C-alpha cells in the first residue's frame, strides 16, 4: 500500500509528481504530500485526503526544484492526517516510505532517549529521524542512508533526499515494489511502472534488498552486501490509453466492459485452437507424484481459488486445499513435497500472498503463480508463472482480473485433466469451446445493463443483503457479497444455499434482499427449494438464472434476471458479470466513491 514517486529532471518536477501521484492513488488515498529541494532547502507540502486536496493547497512556486519526491498514503501507523502524511522530514533528510517497519518502536525508543522528538505517529518518521541522527554523527548522506536501512526490520520501499544534494535520490527495496523508470531527459522512481507510463521508455525492476543511488546520469545499484550489481533495463510497452477512463465515468465500469476483450487475451495465450489443446506448463508431463493442489490468495483472488477447487476436484480428481494467504502463512501446515502450490494475485505484490508463497517454497514440489503483473515479486519467486493478461486494473474492486484468473484456472484444469488422461477428446473440445464462447456471452450480458440497474435500485435502501449459491456458484455468492460491500458499503453475506437453514434464515424478512444465483445445473432443484424456504418466510428474493432455469421456475413471484444458456463449466465466470454490475450500480445510486472506496487500497503490500 502507499504509492511513492521520485523525479530527477531539468524542469520543475512538482506538476509531474502530482500527475504520477494521481495514477498511484489506487495504492492508498487518505493523505498525500510532496517535497522538493531548491537552493539547498527542502520545500514540503502535505494534505489530508485525496491528491485533489494537495493540488488545491499548492500555490504556484510553493515547491520549486528539479528534484522531488511524493507519496500517497494508506494509513498503517497513525490516523489519516496532515501530520502523519509523507514526506517526513528531519533536519537535512526527507523521505517517503511504503511498507511497515516492524521494529519501529525499539528504534523510536532509542531516539527518544537521545532527545529526539516526533511530530507524527508513523513508523516512517522513525526512519527519517534515524537517518538524521546518523547525519548528526558527521557521516556522509550515503553512509547514513545505508546505516539506517541496515537497522530496519520489516517491509519497505524508500525514496530519500538530502537538502545539500539536489542531484541524487537514495532508494531501497525490501518486500515492497520499487522501479526506476527512464524518460528522455528524466529519471523516475515509482511504486510501479504503470503509473509512469507515458513518461518513461524503459524501466528497471529492483530485486529484493537492492538499494541504489540514482542521478540523471548514473544509476548505482547495490545488493544487500554492498556489491555493485546490474539489473536489466526493460522496454516499456504499456500504452497510456489503457490507464485512462476513456468514455466511462469510472475505471470499474470500463474494466467490466473490457472483459470480453481481455478474457480473449488470457485464453488465447493458452489455447491452441487448431489442435484443440491447452498449451501451458508443457514441462509438466505427468502428475503421478502429485497428490494435492494447494491454492492460496486474498480477497477476490481467493474466491478465484475457491472456484478452481470445484473444477480441479471434478475434472482432475485430485485433492485440493484452499486458503486465504493471511491464514495459510501462519497455520501449521503439513507438506509432503507431493503438492503443487498455486498462488493467485492480480498485483503479484500482496504481502500475505507473498509470505504464503515463501512459506511453501522448498516444501512443495513446485510453486505456480497466476498473476497480472509478470514482473511482480510473486511471479519472480515462482517456478512457473501463468499470466492473466488483464491489462492494468485500476478500480480498487477487482473485476476483469477475477474473470481472467478464472480463465487461466479453467485452462489449467483442462491441462491437468488431460495430463492425467481423464478427458475424452469430445469432452476436451467441449470445455475448450465453452471457454472460447465466453467473450460473446459476456458482451451479450453487458449490452443490456438495464435489468441490473433495476436490481440495484432495489438494494440501495437496504442495510443487509444475502447472496446465495450452491456448488461452484457458492464462491460466486461470496465474491458478489464482497463486491457489494466494497462498493456500496452495504453489509452483504455470501452463503451456500443449503446452509441457509442453519442460521441465516433467522434474518429473513421482507426488508432483506436475498439474491440467489440459480443456473440450470445438477443442483438447480435443490437451490429452488432453498428459494421456496425464503419465500415461505416473506423473504425478498431476486433470482439470477439462465434460459433453461427460467422455464423451470415454479412461480413468478419475484424479479428474475435471465442470462443466456451456457455450459455448466463456465457458469462461475459468467455469473461474475451480474455480481459486478449489481455492485457497480448500487454504488452509483448511493453515490459512493466507486473507484476508491473508503479505507481500501488496490495493492495490499502490508500485512
Ligand atoms: C485488495 C483488493 C482486492 C484484491 C485483493 C488481493 O483487497 O482491494 O480487489 O482482490 O487485494 O489482491 P491481489 O493483487 O493479490 O489479487
pLDDT, one tens digit per residue, over 298-336 is 999 999 999 999 999 999 999 999 999 999 999 999 999
- Average pLDDT in the 228-252 region? 80
Residues in contact with ligand 1 by the CB-under-6-Å rule are 298-301, 345-347, 350, 353, 396-398, 600, 602-604
- Average pLDDT in the 243-259 region? 86
pLDDT, one tens digit per residue, over 523-582 is 999 999 888 888 888 889 999 999 999 988 877 788 999 999 899 999 999 999 999 999
Task: Say which range, 179-193, 273-287, 340-354, has the weakest mean pLDDT.
Answer: 273-287
Say how far apart CA 176 and CA 349 lie, in whole Å: 7
Say how far apart CA 458 and CA 589 lie, in whole Å: 10
pLDDT, one tens digit per residue, over 139-175 is 999 999 999 999 999 889 999 999 999 999 999 998 7
pLDDT over threshold 80, residue 237 = no
Distances (CA, A) of 78 to 31, 73, 74, 82: 12, 11, 10, 11
Residue 6's nearest CA partner among 60, 84, 87 is 87
Chain centroid offset of residue 41 CA:
37
Q: Which of 349, 350, 593, 606 to mutate to test the pocket of ligand 1 (most atoms within 8 A of CB)?
A: 350
Instruction: Assess contact for 62 and 78: CB atoms under 8 A.
Output: no
Confirm whether 131 is a catalytic residue.
no
Q: Looking at residue 225, what is its pLDDT?
A: 87
Beta bridge partners, 469, equal 496
DSSP strand E in 267-388: where? 271-272, 277-278, 292-297, 319-324, 339-345, 366-371, 384-387
The alpha-helical segments, DSSP class H, found in 259-375 are 259-268, 299-311, 325-328, 351-360
Confirm whether 602 is a catalytic residue.
yes
Q: Looking at residue 243, what is its pLDDT?
A: 65
Task: Say which range, 243-247, 458-462, 539-543, 545-549, has the weakest mean pLDDT.
Answer: 243-247
Per annotation, catalytic residue among 48, 359, 483, 602 = 602
Confidence label for 520 from pLDDT (cuts 50, 70 and 90): very high
Cis peptide before 87 (omega within 30 of 0): yes
Sign of the CA dihedral with 555 first, then 567, 391, and 159 last: positive
Residue 574's nearest CA partner among 527, 530, 519 is 519
Confidence label for 241 from pLDDT (cuts 50, 70 and 90): low
Amino acid at each position: 500500500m502507499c504509492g511513492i514517486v521520485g523525479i530527477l529532471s531539468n524542469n520543475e518536477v512538482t506538476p509531474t509528481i502530482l500527475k504520477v501521484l494521481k495514477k498511484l492513488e489506487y495504492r492508498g488515498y487518505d493523505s498525500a504530500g510532496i517535497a522538493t529541494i531548491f537552493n539547498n532547502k527542502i520545500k514540503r507540502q502535505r494534505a489530508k485526503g485525496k491528491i485533489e486536496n494537495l493540488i488545491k493547497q499548492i500555490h504556484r512556486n510553493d515547491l520549486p526544484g528539479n528534484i522531488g519526491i511524493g507519496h500517497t498514503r494508506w494509513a498503517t501507523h497513525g490516523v489519516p492526517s496532515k501530520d502523519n502524511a509523507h514526506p517526513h522530514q528531519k533536519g537535512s533528510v526527507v523521505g517517503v516510505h511504503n511498507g511497515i517497519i516492524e521494529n519501529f518502536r525499539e528504534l523510536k525508543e532509542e531516539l527518544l532517549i537521545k532527545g529526539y522528538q516526533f511530530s507524527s505517529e508513523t513508523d516512517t518518521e522513525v526512519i527519517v529521524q534515524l537517518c538524521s541522527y546518523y547525519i548528526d554523527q558527521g557521516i556522509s548522506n550515503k553512509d547514513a542512508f545505508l546505516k539506517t536501512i541496515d537497522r530496519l526490520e520489516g517491509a519497505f520501499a524508500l525514496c530519500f533526499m538530502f537538502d545539500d544534494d539536489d542531484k541524487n535520490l537514495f532508494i531501497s527495496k525490501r518486500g515492497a515494489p520499487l522501479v526506476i523508470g527512464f524518460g528522455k531527459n528524466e529519471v523516475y522512481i515509482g511504486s510501479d511502472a504503470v503509473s509512469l507510463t507515458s513518461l518513461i521508455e524503459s524501466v528497471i525492476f529492483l530485486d529484493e534488498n537492492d538499494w541504489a543511488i540514482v542521478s540523471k546520469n548514473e544509476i548505482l545499484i547495490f545488493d544487500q552486501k554492498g556489491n555493485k550489481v546490474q539489473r536489466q533495463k526493460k522496454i516499456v510497452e504499456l500504452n497510456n490509453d489503457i490507464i485512462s477512463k476513456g468514455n466511462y465515468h469510472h475505471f470499474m465500469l470500463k474494466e467490466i466492459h473490457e472483459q470480453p476483450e481481455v478474457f480473449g487475451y488470457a485464453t488465447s495465450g493458452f489455447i491452441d485452437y487448431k489442435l484443440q489443446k491447452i498449451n501451458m506448463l508443457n514441462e509438466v508431463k505427468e502428475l503421478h507424484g502429485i497428490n494435492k493442489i494447494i491454492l492460496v490468495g486474498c480477497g477476490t483472488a481467493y474466491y478465484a481459488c475457491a472456484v478452481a477447487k470445484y473444477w480441479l476436484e471434478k475434472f482432475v480428481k485430485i485433492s485440493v486445499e484452499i486458503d486465504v494467504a493471511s491464514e495459510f502463512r501462519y497455520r501449521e501446515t503439513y507438506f509432503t513435497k507431493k503438492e503443487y502450490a498455486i498462488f493467485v494475485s492480480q498485483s503479484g505484490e500482496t504481502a500475505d500472498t507473498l509470505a504464503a508463497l515463501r512459506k511453501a517454497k522448498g516444501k512443495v514440489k513446485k510453486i505456480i503463480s497466476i498473476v497480472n503483473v509478470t514482473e511482480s515479486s510473486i511471479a519472480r519467486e515462482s517456478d512457473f508463472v501463468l499470466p492473466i493478461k488483464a491489462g492494468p486494473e485500476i478500480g480498487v474492486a477487482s473485476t476483469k482480473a477475477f474473470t481472467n484468473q478464472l480463465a487461466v484456472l479453467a485452462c489449467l484444469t483442462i491441462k491437468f485433466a488431460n495430463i492425467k488422461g481423464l478427458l475424452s477428446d469430445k469432452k476436451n473440445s467441449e470445455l475448450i469451446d465453452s471457454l472460447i464462447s465466453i467473450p460473446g456471452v459476456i458482451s451479450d450480458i453487458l449490452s443490456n445493463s438495464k435489468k441490473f440497474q433495476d436490481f440495484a435500485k432495489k438494494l440501495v435502501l437496504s442495510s443487509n443483503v444475502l447472496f446465495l449459491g450452491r456448488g461452484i456458484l457458492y464462491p460466486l455468492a461470496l465474491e458478489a457479497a464482497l463486491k457489494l460491500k466494497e462498493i456500496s458499503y452495504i453489509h452483504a453475506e455470501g452463503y451456500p444455499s443449503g446452509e441457509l437453514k442453519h442460521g441465516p434464515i433467522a434474518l429473513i424478512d421482507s426488508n432483506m434482499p436475498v439474491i440467489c444465483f440459480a443456473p440450470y445445473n445438477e443442483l438447480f432443484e435443490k437451490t429452488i427449494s432453498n428459494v421456496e424456504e425464503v419465500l415461505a418466510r416473506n423473504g425478498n428474493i431476486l433470482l439470477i438464472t439462465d434460459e433453461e432455469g427460467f422455464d423451470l421456475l415454479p412461480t413468478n413471484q419475484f424479479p428474475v434476471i435471465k442470462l443466456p444458456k451456457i455450459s455448466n463449466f463456465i457458469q462461475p465466470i459468467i455469473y461474475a458479470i451480474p455480481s459486478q454490475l449489481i455492485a457497480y450500480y448500487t454504488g452509483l445510486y448511493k453515490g459512493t466513491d466507486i473507484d476508491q472506496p473508503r479505507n481500501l487500497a488496490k495493492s495490499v503490500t502490508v500485512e
